[in-house]
A and B are shown apart, each in its own frame.
Chain A
Amino acid sequence: DAGVTQSPTHLIKTRGQHVTLRCSPISGHKSVSWYQQVLGQGPQFIFQYYEKEERGRGNFPDRFSARQFPNYSSELNVNALLLGDSALYLCASSLGDRAQHFGDGTRLSIL
């Protein structure tokens, strides 16, 4: 079975722009979470969705938003990009409350 897939793998944007990152969970997984990993640090929780409902939100500004679709795939949107948004964005899916499985991430660079 395919693992968690994320697209695109790399992205370069300029300050003030908007970005949409996409994630397809492992087949059968209804929970999707998003994390931001800044270089040299551990991942920081952004959002969690379960059955298309937001289940949790980390300490990120309102410029960050997400949604989950009926097929359980998910999008993370970031508006008004700042230099500090440069990071690896990780998506993880899980079956209920079992261990999360991560994709390889989208590396976002802000110029």
Chain B
Amino acid sequence: AQSVAQPEDQVNVAEGNPLTVKCTYSVSGNPYLFWYVQYPNRGLQFLLKYITGDNLVKGSYGFEAEFNKSQTSFHLKKPSALVSDSALYFCAVRDITGANNLFFGTGTRLTVIP
């Protein structure tokens, strides 16, 4: 079975500081990993994905994520946080059985403090 874990329910960071939202995964084989963001009363917006190749993946809105196979992690990062980045962030892994469905973590609420 595959799964992802987001160990932090809440992350607070000052505006302009770098931010990191953590995610670890458990998959037999090569993982397909994703980050999504959810704003209040909205659906999920795709930020970035890792399929294969370069361990540093660049995505939307200045976000990037680092895939680390030895630590089974896929942390989301941004060099300089904006107040508008405050939202709920979800890490997800694709089902390896062949379907395209995703298994999501429990989410991390990011608050950027002005």
Give residues in A with beta carbon < 8 Å to B. Answer: 4, 31, 33, 41-45, 48, 50, 55-56, 58, 90, 92, 94, 97, 99-105
Contacts and interface: CB of A to CB of B under 8 A. Distances in A.
A44 B90 CA distance: 12
Identify the interface centre among A44, A50, A100, A102: most chain B CB within 10 Å of its CB.
Answer: A100
Contact of A43 (B42, B49, B104): B104
Given A56-B95, A99-B34, A99-B49, A43 B100 contact: no
B102 interface: yes
Contacts of B34: 99
- Most-contacted residue by chain B among A31, A33, A99, A103 (CB, 10 A): A99
Given A42-B90, A43-B44, A100 B102 contact: yes
A42 B43 contact: no
A97 B34 CA distance: 13
Contact of A56 (B92, B99, B104, B107): B99
B99 A48 contact: yes
B45 to A, nearest CB: 7
